[in-house]
Homo-oligomer: A and B are copies of this chain.
Amino acid sequence: MPSFSPALDALVEQFAKLPGVGVKSAQRLAFHVLSLPQEEAEQFAQAILNAKRDIHCCPVCQNLTEGDGPCPICASPRRDESTVCVVADPKDVAAMERSREYQGLYHVLHGVISPMNHIGPDDLRIRELVERVSGGTVQEVIMATNPDTEGEATAMYLSRLLKPFRVKVTRLAYGIPVGSHLEYADDATLMRALEGRREI
């Protein structure tokens, strides 16, 4: 595209850096921002700066939070401190909370072990998890990483790492998703669903 404005090119470049946004989409988004009233464009820029300034990791569970001290979940007296659910990302906490079933605490790894992407155990919040578990309050650690190769490997690695602390380490159940059809379930899921069958 002929560059007729360095400021526009710079904005397109910024949008194109976002995950899943190609050059065409980035151009469309940049033109949209240009068409916004001055005030709304400033709000957009400010929201980015505010989020970066205010949001940090909870010192206990490493989930994203605002303000000083532990996050609302860690600070809540109604949550069960003896159970910790280990997830890869902050958005997984949001997904678990949506179910309104889980009453324990969380631990956010901020990624999974991935040799392909040069992410090793030291790049994740694993040291913080070991420290929490070594404290003695935690009785059960539920592995809730994604059921893919890297998520599995990370869960396996952590379960071995936590064994010396004599905590129960569990894994979310595999099986047929609720509301789906058997015929569309893949072989691996069906096999896991069979393995995990329960008496009714």
Asked if B1 and A31 sit within 8 Å, CB to CB, the answer is no
Interface size class of A (residues with CB under 8 A): 35 or more
- Kindly provide the distance from the CB of A100 to the nearest chain B CB, expressed in whole angstroms: 9
Asked if B94 and A2 sit within 8 Å, CB to CB, the answer is yes
- Kindly provide the distance from the CB of A88 to the nearest chain B CB, expressed in whole angstroms: 12
- Return chain B residues, CB-CB under 8 Å to A33: 18, 48, 51-52
A1-B94, A18-B32, A31-B89 given as contacts; is B41 within 8 A of A49 (CB)?
A: yes
Given contacts A14-B43, A45-B48, 18 further A-B contacts (CB under 8 A): A1-B98, A4-B64, A4-B65, A4-B93, A5-B54, A5-B65, A5-B66, A7-B54, A7-B55, A8-B64, A11-B51, A28-B91, A31-B89, A33-B48, A33-B52, A41-B48, A44-B48, A45-B49
